[in-house]
Structure 1
């Protein structure tokens, strides 16, 4: 798999009783496909995988696979807090037809570099899949850093890394050190233009759940060499990016879907709904992005 283009980090809509809303999920997926996205990352942070049991995660993976029907590539988030559980989830994803998985460091355990390398090797040994590493230290508690990437740079089944540390220097270091051996995917939404300039080939993007038309146009402009247009579009998205990062990221993704005309659904506890003021602020930021 080549990590290429705009790959939404797909949300999971829930109804008011807390059940997965598959009707809403299909509408979200179809809207983004119609808007030209290039693939999906399913059951990542934006999908609230941590609030779901294994059976529910498998249901979502199965459903998205069926709805997409091979139109774009997919990768499954199979993260968990232990190596044994990650292997179980990853083998299940493979059984459901996912050849590529997105994996951060196991959360809460705070593994060392040596332990992370052993963890990813154990998954590779036990599961017939390709891995995209995921560096998100603010949630995982540790950094999937250069030493870990160095250990896997010559392993053809470790495709790349979604870099979400917020450190642009890391993106520069990855491309200059590893070149095409470790494909770079942007995971820091407000740095997307900089990431592409420094060699990223894809953007695993939460805001694409509701801003896919604008984000795809940004990507197409960049690919065509029109940096001025790419900059114009991404600048108009900054108010939304800022609003998302201030608080309640996932709730705002789902409200953004509502503003874009598709049902985003509710979140599961402990996440609380947006206040009326938060909705007002998000709606104002969305209006700026929508007009670009």
Structure 2
């Protein structure tokens, strides 16, 4: 187990490509990952909500984790999404990831069940006790129906295996509060893509990024510009990214991400039900917003 993992740079929350037969298309997956590596990503986050883990069988999740692990280089960080609605299943998924070779997992509150903070603390404690991995907490209350509170983060602040939190509430004040309260203890990870530059300013050195599936070069360039101190250029690029990211957040997120990949010749197929296809109008709107980004 590698404790005190330092997260940095852009790590795609990976889509899962599906073929016309609705099976995972691993050739398309390889093309996608190769494109991301050339763009400059620093790691891989498979089996998150952008990867449609909720529509996959356990065997498919295993195949995705194994494929990404086999593709990854030693200097690229691996973080497996192992979410599920029940603690028992989270432990099973996390143990599977650990067996394949993942030291780190991304864990939101169990969806649908809306646990109290006391129940949620017990949930994470149980996972840590059962499986020897590091946890990146994932706060996305709009999707999961549960907050990750300061009470919870206070509880885990001195636990070296709770290494970070991906903050996706969309409320910048939350990111500022986390950066202020847990500096040197829990790393802040950018998870609100349309304010990613603000996150960087407040100390987020890493970005687990769904939009990087369709704008990897631009996302990596934003990260590079900020690190180089080229703030005016970073601000200009964020303006260019902002419209496309807003459209992504307006609904049909994964469908638009996959369509955006397709615009670059990276065919990753359709989403699985219940996610349905985009309308022609939705495609046209997103394609227009992507045009200046793809022209970079």
TM range, smaller chain: over 0.9
Q: Residue deviations 1:246-285, cap 9 Å, x none?
A: 1210001001111122112111000011111111111111
CA distance in 1, matches of 2:143, 2:15: 17
2:164·2:189 contact (CA, 8 Å) conserved in 1? yes
Q: 1:156 aligns with which of 123, 139, 160?
A: 160
How big is the shift at 1:71?
4.8
Structure 1: unaligned runs, 5 residues or longer: none
CA distance in 2, matches of 1:180, 1:290: 37
Corresponding position: 1:40 with 2:44 = yes
- Look up the SS of the partner of 1:7 in the other structure: strand
Alignment length (residue pairs): 292
CA distance in 2, matches of 1:15, 1:264: 7
Corresponding position: 1:136 with 2:140 = yes
Matching residue of 1:247: 251
Q: 1:168 aligns with which of 172, 175, 182?
A: 172
Corresponding position: 1:235 with 2:239 = yes
Matching residue of 1:63: 67
TM-score, with structure 2 as normaliser: 0.97
Matching residue of 2:262: 258
How big is the shift at 1:210?
1.6
- Look up the SS of the partner of 2:222 in the other structure: helix
Q: Residue deviations 1:37-87, cap 9 Å, x none?
A: 111111111000111111110110001111224351110000000000000
Structure 2: unaligned runs, 5 residues or longer: none
- Look up the SS of the partner of 1:200 in the other structure: coil
Moved over 6 A (4+): none
